[in-house]
A and B are shown apart, each in its own frame.
Chain A
Amino acid sequence: MTYIVKPKLHHPKLPHNKLGFTHRDYEGKVSTLCAGCGHDSISAALIQACFELDLPPHRIAKLSGIGCSSKTPDYFLGQSHGFNSVHGRMPSVMTGANLANRDLIYLGVSGDGDSASIGLGQFAHCLRRGVNMVYIVENNGVYGLTKGQFSATADKGSKSKRGASNQDSPIDLVGMAFLMGASFVARSFSGDKKQLVELIKAAIAHRGAAFIDCISPCVAFNNHPGSTKSFDYVREHNEAVNSLEFMEAKQEIKADYAPGTSALVRQHDGTFLNLKKLAADYDPTDRNGALAFLQRHQAAGEIVTGLLFVEPEPEDMVARLNVTKTPLNRLGEAELCPGSAILEKINAELR
Chain B
Amino acid sequence: MPARLERTNDFVVLFANVNGSGSASANRLFGRAMIRMGVPVGSRNIFPSNIQGLPTWYEVRVSEAGHLGRRGGVDLMVAMNPQTWDNDVKSIDSGGYLFYDSSKPLPPSKFRDDINVVGMPLTEICNKQYSDPRQRQLFKNIMYVGALSQLLDIEPEVIEKLIGELYQGKEKLLAPNVEAFHIGRDYARKHLNGAIGLKLRRCDRVGNKILIEGNAAAALGAVYAGATVAAWYPITPSSSMAEAFQRYCQRYRVDQDGTHRFAIIQAEDELAAIGIVIGAAWNGVRAFTATAGPGISLMQEFIGLAHFAEIPAVIFDVQRGGPSTGMPTRTQQSDILSCAYASHGDTRHVLLFPAEPGECFEFAAKAFDLADRLQTPIFVMSDLDIGMNEWLVEPLAWDDKRKYDRGKVMTFEDLEAGKDFGRYLDVDGDGIPYRTLPGTHPTKGSFFTRGTSRDRYARYSEEGPVYVDNMERLLKKFDTAKSLLPAPVRRNAREATRFGAIYYGSTTTAMDEAIGMLEVNGIHLDTLRVRAYPFVDEIIDFIRAHERIFLVEQNRDAQLKTLLLDTGRVDANKIVSVLHYDGTPVTAHFIVSGISRRMQEIMPVPLRRVAS
Contact = CB atoms under 8 A, between A and B. Distances in A.
Interface size range of chain B in the complex = 35 or more
Interface in A1-19: 1-3
Contacts, number: 221
B82 interface: no
Contacts of A331: 226, 228, 261
Given A58-B443, A342-B252, A96 B276 contact: yes
Interface in B271-303: 271-285, 287, 301-302
Contacts of B274: 92
A35 interface: no
A57 B208 CA distance: 56
Contacts of A85: 275, 278-279, 305
A84 B283 contact: no
A103 interface: yes
Nearest to B212: A350
Contacts of B281: 96, 100
Which of B259, B285, B450, B460 is packed against the most chain A CB atoms within 10 Å?
Answer: B285
Interface in A77-103: 78-86, 89, 91-101, 103
Interface in B234-293: 252-253, 255, 258-265, 267-269, 271-285, 287
B438 A57 contact: no
A323 B254 CA distance: 9
B460 A2 contact: yes
Contacts of B439: 58-59, 61, 81, 101, 103-104
Contacts of B220: 343, 346
B190 interface: no
A118 to B, nearest CB: 10
Contacts of A260: none
B260 to A, nearest CB: 5
Nearest to B280: A96
Interface in A332-350: 332-333, 335-340, 342-344, 346-347, 350
B223 interface: yes
A61 B260 contact: no
B400 A339 contact: yes
B440 interface: yes
A58 B440 contact: yes
B438 A104 contact: yes
A305 to B, nearest CB: 30
B260 A99 contact: no
A304 interface: no
Contacts of A63: 279
B449 interface: yes
Which of B253, B258, B438, B460 is packed against the most chain A CB atoms within 10 Å?
Answer: B438
A56 interface: yes
Interface string A135-166: 00000000000000000000000000000000
A318 interface: yes
A199 B284 CA distance: 30
A343 B284 contact: no
B448 A73 contact: yes
A119 B13 CA distance: 51
A331 B285 CA distance: 8
Interface string A207-226: 00000000000000000000
Contacts of A37: none
B292 to A, nearest CB: 19
A3 B272 CA distance: 32
A227 interface: no
Interface string B392-424: 000111111011100000000000000000000
A101 B439 CA distance: 9
B442 interface: yes
Contact of A338 (B252, B268, B280, B397): B252
B396 A94 contact: no
Contacts of B403: 333
Interface of B: 208-212, 220, 223-226, 228-229, 231, 252-253, 255, 258-265, 267-269, 271-285, 287, 301-302, 305, 395-400, 402-404, 436-443, 446-451, 453, 460-461
Given A96-B279, A104-B283, A121-B269, 4 more contacts: A81-B437, A92-B271, A100-B287, A333-B402
Give the 5 A-B residue pairs with the shortest CB-CB distance, closest first. A92-B275, A96-B279, A329-B284, A96-B280, A93-B279
